[in-house]
């Protein structure tokens, strides 16, 4: 990482920058002015009590939901991004924002949301096939990711035949195999017991570091946040100093 004279990260090290995010749902104000910079390659944990605004912040950072005000700027998959220009998520058209999310971002949620009718291998291959990768190459890549999450022997298993931890590892393989520049994970181990949580998190962190991906992780569990490089805490819609 480049460090400026002030000790702050250089601008080129920032991959995503949010400024003054405000978001309300009716009378509930979920975010009251949140600003955060996310550095390339870091694993950032967003912590805080239930209902404090963590998921809303993750959704705003990932362009899933638009804030009422404030900005989210994405600086691209590399410091010298091919398109060159930072993109302001809140001013992109819905189509452009959807395409950016699909091409550059990966997602893992609390429940794996695998397609129940498809095998583990098919589930991993789907995003590659949708992204235009040819069938043979997509399945070869999907199989490598199945191996990386230690489930090569589950290639033909349906989600209903797997444990929660196994399904979550498939979901992680599915999210990581298109090489997103940022992985957004919302309580990725929230449905698992502590042993499976440790296993899933250590795998996720290991793979993200190996592939130089940035991870933004929502959790209320200190043991899960311990895997991150840095923590921010949201309380009542603002970041704790």
Q: Which of 1, 11, 12, 28 binds ligand ADP (CB under 6 A)?
A: 28
Question: How, if at all, do strands 43-47 and 69-74 pair?
Answer: unpaired
Burial class for 114, CB neighbours closer than 10 Å (0-12, 13-18, 19+): buried
Q: Which is nearer to ligand ADP, 28 or 202 (CB)?
A: 28
Q: Which residues inside 40-69 make contact with ligand ADP, applying CB under 6 A?
A: 48, 50-56
Q: Which is nearer to ligand ADP, 53 or 178 (CB)?
A: 53
Burial class for 152, CB neighbours closer than 10 Å (0-12, 13-18, 19+): middle
Cα(239)–Cα(35) distance, integer angstroms: 8
Q: Which is nearer to ligand ADP, 50 or 85 (CB)?
A: 50
Binding mask 181-200 for ligand ADP (x = CB under 6 A): --------------------
Query: Could you give the dihedral angle defined by the CA atoms of residues 118, 122, 128 and 133, in that order, rounded to the nearest 10 degrees?
Result: -120
Cα(25)–Cα(77) distance, integer angstroms: 32
Q: Which is nearer to ligand ADP, 48 or 178 (CB)?
A: 48
Q: Which helix (H) or strand (E) holds 155?
A: none
Query: Residue 30 CB, nearest distance to ligand ADP (Å)?
Result: 4
Q: Which is nearer to ligand ADP, 4 or 35 (CB)?
A: 35
Ramachandran bin of 46, using left for φ above 0, alpha for ψ from -120 to 50, beta for the remaining angles? beta
Q: Which of 1, 11, 12, 25 binds ligand ADP (CB under 6 A)?
A: 25
Query: Residue 50 CB, nearest distance to ligand ADP (Å)?
Result: 5
Cα(143)–Cα(157) distance, integer angstroms: 13
Asked if 30 is part of the footprint of ligand ADP (rule: CB under 6 A), the reply reads yes
Beta bridge partners of 230: 44
Size of the site for ligand ADP (CB under 6 A): 11
Q: Which is nearer to ligand ADP, 48 or 159 (CB)?
A: 48
Query: Residue 53 CB, nearest distance to ligand ADP (Å)?
Result: 4
Query: Residue 28 CB, nearest distance to ligand ADP (Å)?
Result: 5
Helix (H, G, I), strand (E, B) or coil at 185: strand
Chain contacts with ligand ADP (rule: CB under 6 A): 25, 28, 30, 48, 50-56
């Amino acid at each position: 990482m480049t460090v400026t004279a002030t000790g702050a990260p250089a601008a080129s090290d920032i991959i995503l920058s949010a400024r003054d995010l405000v978001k309300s749902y009716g009378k509930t104000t979920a975010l009251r002015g949140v600003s955060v910079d996310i550095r390339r390659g870091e694993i950032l944990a967003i912590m805080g009590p239930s209902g404090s605004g963590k998921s809303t912040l993750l959704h705003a950072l990932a362009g899933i939901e638009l804030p009422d005000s404030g900005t989210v700027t994405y600086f691209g998959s590399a410091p010298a991004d091919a398109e060159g220009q930072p993109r302001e998520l809140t001013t992109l058209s819905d189509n452009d924002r959807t395409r950016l999310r699909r091409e550059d971002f990966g997602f893992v949620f609390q429940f794996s949301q695998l397609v129940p009718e498809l095998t583990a291998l098919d589930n991993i291959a789907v995003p590659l096939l949708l992204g235009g990768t040819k069938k043979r190459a997509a399945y070869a890549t999907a199989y490598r990711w199945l191996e990386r999450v230690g489930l090569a022997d589950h290639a033909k298993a349906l989600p209903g035949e797997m444990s929660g931890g196994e399904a979550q590892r498939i979901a992680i393989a599915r999210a990581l195999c298109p090489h997103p520049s940022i992985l957004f994970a919302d309580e990725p181990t929230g449905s698992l017991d502590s042993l499976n949580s440790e296993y899933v998190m250590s795998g996720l962190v290991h793979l993200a570091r190996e592939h130089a991906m940035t991870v933004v992780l929502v959790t209320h569990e200190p043991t899960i946040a311990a895997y991150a490089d840095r923590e921010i805490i949201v309380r009542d819609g603002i970041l704790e100093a």
